[in-house]
Chains A and B, each alone.
Chain A
Amino acid sequence: MVRSGRRFGPGGIVLAGAAVVFVVLQGLMLAGVINVYLQMILSYAGVVAITALGLNLIYGYTGQFSLGHAAFYGIGAYTSALVTRSIPSAGAWKLLAGMAAGAIVAGVVAFLIGLPILRLKSDYLGIATLGFGMIMNVLFKNSDKVIPVMGGSCGMRGIARLASFPWVFAVAVLAIVVLRNIVFSSVGRALVSVREDELAAEAVGINTTRYKTMGFVIGCMFAGVAGSLYAHLYAYLSPDNFDFLKSIDVLLIVVLGGLGSISGTVVAAVAWVFLLEGLRIVLPPAIQDWRMVLYPLLLIIFMLFRPRGMFGGTEFRFLRPKEN
């Protein structure tokens, strides 16, 4: 009975489904139904989804409240931009090198910062990560004093536009498969046990410090990869893209989609990006500024009626592994 579900190998069904979606989207792009503007929004939605998947691992699954996720997104973006700049030759593999560097540096920083602060619980951890995010933002703003090409508060320019929608799509699918395989495993159960009851987790042999750190580091590496893609999509980085409000945006997406739901995070990320952009188009210019009032209002309504988010910890069927 288990066999049939495994015919495609690890994450096979997800990959097959993703391939179909990709072909359809590419077709629509070639046919001109999806214009360059929409393509850009789609790509951005993918980047946001990858970042949010990372935070979901940290907050949704492992239960560690972080308000500094955008800092790691920024670390990934700047690191990869510096790496691709310093490689003279052209070629797509430069982006791979950039993403790897972005993920590793974000992960190492997360490890170093996580060791002292992951002892803290809930609100206190939130404040500590918030503080870290602010420090990073200040560093980005003053980066030109150490590394002139980073541009400080003027922003970093001259980044090669190496990423494109197919790149984002591929990485997003990979992120989904990786997260799914982590979550539905013994390691995943250990992570969730930390969220559910740290003391009880220790009492059944889980080294909670280790798993909190692991969840945090991997989640931040997701952000690092997303940041790398962002840098090479927009070819311009401003410190304002990685401030406190960006961390809040990601947090909103994770909560709206449902803590501990991959499906929810992806749907919420795409919906959120399209809603913000959609309102820009739909609303008449006179009330454009009300956009920022409308969407918090939506949040309040949503939380009143669906406090556990869209998916409330459940998954699309195709993301659930066959129960053995």
Chain B
Amino acid sequence: MEPLLEISGLTKAFGGLVAVRDFNLQLEPGGLVGLIGPNGAGKTTVFNLVTGMYRPTKGSIRFRGRELTGLKPFQVYQLGISRTFQNIRLFRQLSVLDNVRVAYHHLGETGIFGSVLRTPRFRQEERQVTERARELLSILGLESRIHALAHNLPYGEQRRLEIARALIAEPKLLLLDEPAAGMNPAEVDKLMELILFLHERFRLTILLIEHQMRVVMGVCKRVVVMDFGEVIAQGAPEEVQSNPRVIEAYLGKVEA
């Protein structure tokens, strides 16, 4: 099967600091892969490189056979890769409904003139996007909140709203950056269920950064471990867990 995402030789240097070095990764369609590693290992940098927020120093990122390097973030999104952020980035003064509808904007065909004239097509598209957004929000349990402003939602709901926003345009690949951060154990359980459910329901390929091992071990079929910008191990969760290099990266080396 042709990989959905193929990253090869990816390197990103910020001045003298090499945040990601010769990173390789293949994601098969339908995969659910965890990207783990200690703080500062370069995981988020990989996300920023894939989504076009950083330009790689070297290497290539191919998505469904198409080279992504050099594309702007909005172009990457329009090709079918969406993401969430480690420190939630919602449109705070927009309603829950509008937060989700914005992310469908590029699929609309009504431009500025159609909007000013309120053409029939404008109305039809507004109706369609609103219906879709409502449906998605109800799947994520936010249907009662659609008119609330995003910044008034409690933390857990903000996380879910960000996921809803990332899903409205039916991406092929979803990048989740520490979705369980700041959640209590009960919320984490629900989140794990949600990730597995979305993975099934939308036939999504998911790449997930997470610090909570419980989440990674619970949902991922494959885990990639990074340290100091490099991949140090990958494989099934159980294999990786017992890999000495991984233990070393997390706990430090045992001095002889």
Q: Which stretch of A92-100, A116-124, A158-166, A186-194 is in the interface? A: A186-194
Which residues of chain B from 145 to 168 have a CB within 8 Å of any chain A CB?
147, 165-166
CB of A62 within 8 A of chain B? no
- The answer on a CB contact under 8 Å between B102 and A201 is yes
CB of A35 within 8 A of chain B? no
- The answer on a CB contact under 8 Å between A204 and B82 is yes
CB neighbours of B118 from chain A (8 A): 9-11, 181
Cβ 8 A contact of B115, one of A187, A200, A201, A205: A187
Cβ 8 A contact of A204, one of B103, B117, B126: B103
Q: A-B contact count, CB below 8 Å? A: 110
- The answer on a CB contact under 8 Å between B82 and A206 is no
CB neighbours of A185 from chain B (8 A): 110, 115, 122, 126
Q: Which stretch of B3-11, B26-34, B36-44, B73-81 is in the interface? A: B73-81
- The answer on a CB contact under 8 Å between A205 and B112 is no
- Taken residue by residue from 163 to 187, chain A's Cβ proximity to chain B (1 for < 8 Å, 0 otherwise) reads as 0000000000000001001100111
CB neighbours of A205 from chain B (8 A): 74, 77-78, 103, 105-106, 169
CB of B142 within 8 A of chain A? no
CB of A202 within 8 A of chain B? yes
CB neighbours of A186 from chain B (8 A): 101-102, 104-105, 108, 110, 115, 125-126, 129
CB neighbours of B129 from chain A (8 A): 186
- Taken residue by residue from 1 to 41, chain A's Cβ proximity to chain B (1 for < 8 Å, 0 otherwise) reads as 00000000111000000000000000000000000000000
Taken together as a complex, chains A and B put the C-alpha atoms of A196 and B101 apart, in Å, by 15
CB neighbours of A190 from chain B (8 A): 102, 105
- The answer on a CB contact under 8 Å between A202 and B105 is no
- The answer on a CB contact under 8 Å between B89 and A197 is yes
| Shortest Cβ gap from A118 to chain B (Å) | 15
CB of A207 within 8 A of chain B? yes
Q: Which stretch of B90-98, B204-212, B218-226, B228-236 is in the interface? A: B90-98
CB neighbours of B117 from chain A (8 A): 10, 181
CB of A208 within 8 A of chain B? yes
CB neighbours of A87 from chain B (8 A): none
- The answer on a CB contact under 8 Å between B91 and A196 is yes
With A189-B98, A196-B92, A324-B127 known to touch, is A203 a contact of B116 (CB < 8 Å)? no
Cβ 8 A contact of B91, one of A178, A192, A313: A192
| Shortest Cβ gap from A100 to chain B (Å) | 16
* Smallest CB gap from B108: residue in A: A186
CB of B72 within 8 A of chain A? yes
CB of B21 within 8 A of chain A? no
Taken together as a complex, chains A and B put the C-alpha atoms of A206 and B102 apart, in Å, by 8
With A182-B116, A190-B105, A324-B127 known to touch, is A208 a contact of B92 (CB < 8 Å)? no
- The answer on a CB contact under 8 Å between B91 and A193 is yes
Cβ 8 A contact of B111, one of A181, A187, A199, A207: A187
Taken together as a complex, chains A and B put the C-alpha atoms of A178 and B102 apart, in Å, by 20
CB of A105 within 8 A of chain B? no
CB of A214 within 8 A of chain B? yes
Taken together as a complex, chains A and B put the C-alpha atoms of A188 and B112 apart, in Å, by 9
- The answer on a CB contact under 8 Å between B93 and A324 is no
| Shortest Cβ gap from B160 to chain A (Å) | 16
CB neighbours of B12 from chain A (8 A): none
- The answer on a CB contact under 8 Å between B102 and A193 is yes
- The answer on a CB contact under 8 Å between B74 and A206 is yes
CB of B83 within 8 A of chain A? yes
Which residues of chain A from 197 to 224 have a CB within 8 Å of any chain B CB?
197, 199-208, 214, 218
Residue with the highest number of chain B CB atoms closer than 10 Å, among A9, A186, A192: A186
CB of B53 within 8 A of chain A? yes
| Shortest Cβ gap from B168 to chain A (Å) | 8
| Shortest Cβ gap from A243 to chain B (Å) | 31
Taken together as a complex, chains A and B put the C-alpha atoms of A65 and B127 apart, in Å, by 33
* Top 3 A-B residue pairs of the complex, sorted by shortest distance between their CB atoms: A185-B115, A10-B118, A204-B103
Q: Could you list some 11 contacts between A and B, CB below 8 A?
A: A10-B117, A185-B126, A186-B126, A187-B110, A189-B102, A190-B105, A197-B89, A202-B77, A204-B77, A206-B74, A260-B93
Q: 13 new A-B pairs (CB below 8 Å) besides A11-B118, A188-B115?
A: A185-B126, A186-B101, A186-B108, A186-B115, A186-B125, A186-B126, A196-B93, A197-B89, A199-B73, A200-B89, A205-B78, A206-B106, A207-B74
